[in-house]
Amino acid sequence: MNNKDLNVALVQHSNTGDVQHNLNKTIQGIKEAASEGAKLIVLQELHCSLYFCQTEDTDCFDLAETIPGPSTNTFGELAKELKVVIVLSLFEKRAVGIYHNTAVVMDSDGSIAGKYRKMHIPDDPGFYEKFYFTPGDIGFEPIQTSVGKLGVLVCWDQWFPEAARLMAMAGADVLIYPTAIGWDKRDDAEEQKRQLDAWVISQRAHAVANGLPVISCNRVGLELDPSGQSEGISFWGNSFIAGPQGEILAHAGDCDDQILTANVSLSRSESVRRIWPFMRDRRIDHYSDLLKIYRD
């Protein structure tokens, strides 16, 4: 079994209402990660702007862009210059009245390797995403790149084991989650800990269940609610990189901008799957009820 190591990084940072400022911060983070040897660099969900889904405001549709478009041009040139693969997260304008929360992968030659449109769309207080995003229609298809086959998912997808499993079944080498998640300012310390622990545990479990590394990139900082109906969201950071047994390889803090890097062994997934053959022992002949909403 040949060893295949990959230096990976994620760029965790706070955002402001100044899109150009956010863009500059993201580009600087990518350059710093590349200078540290990273060949795969993951950005947080909707990294170009504030998390605008705290309210339902039709003016926010002005933030959407086409693919190809300004961001893919900018990050494609950067990927080619630095010879890295970049996973970015965009508010995609597919057509008039049809918008998606879309992750795009730029390959190391500057081309668009592929995209993933967020499949699971939340609609909770402070996270009114159904107002903005049409559910994805591409499905759970890994994206082939020069560094491997990337199982890219987005934020709310990270709570669903089915999404991770389908990416693994399609041959993904790694699971990747650009994310924007945080606390309601009214949550007490105990509730905050429960939520954060659940978020980390869920994604580490995807690594264990599928024998794959996981890269999860979240944002940080307080973003106020423009409507004033709440105190806003404190994005909790804690971005991390885990190995195929769920082991933490690198873990960011909860309040600071940070470039997180780690060396991930893609070949170790085979060793893990040999000792934990979960894929082999699945009883697909008795899983048909999974296609139901609920068993009454």
- Scan for tokens 């939340």, then name that residue: 122
What is d(CA 122, CA 119) in angstroms, rounded to the nearest whole number?
A: 10
Of 170, 160, 180, 179, the residue nearest 138 (C-alpha): 170
| Contact between 53 and 155 (Cβ < 8 Å) | no
Of 32, 53, 52, 59, the residue nearest 43 (C-alpha): 32
Task: Output DSSP code: residue 168.
Answer: H
If you count DSSP H runs as helices and E runs as strands, how many of each does the chain have, helices first? 5, 17
State the angle between helix axes of 19-35 and 70-82 in degrees (0 to 180), rounded to the nearest 10: 20
Which residues fall within 8 angstroms of residue 242, CB to CB, at 6 or more apart?
203, 204, 207, 213, 214, 216, 248, 249
Which residue among 60, 92, 118, 223 is the active-site one? Answer: 118
Which residue among 25, 45, 92, 223 is the active-site one? Answer: 45
Instruction: Give me the half-sphere count of Cα atoms (radius 13 Å) on the Cβ side of residue 72.
Output: 20
Please say if 92 is a catalytic residue. no
Query: Residue 249, SS3?
Result: strand
Please say if 118 is a catalytic residue. yes
Which residue among 48, 53, 60, 155 is the active-site one? Answer: 155
Please say if 45 is a catalytic residue. yes
Residues with a catalytic annotation lie at 45, 118, 155
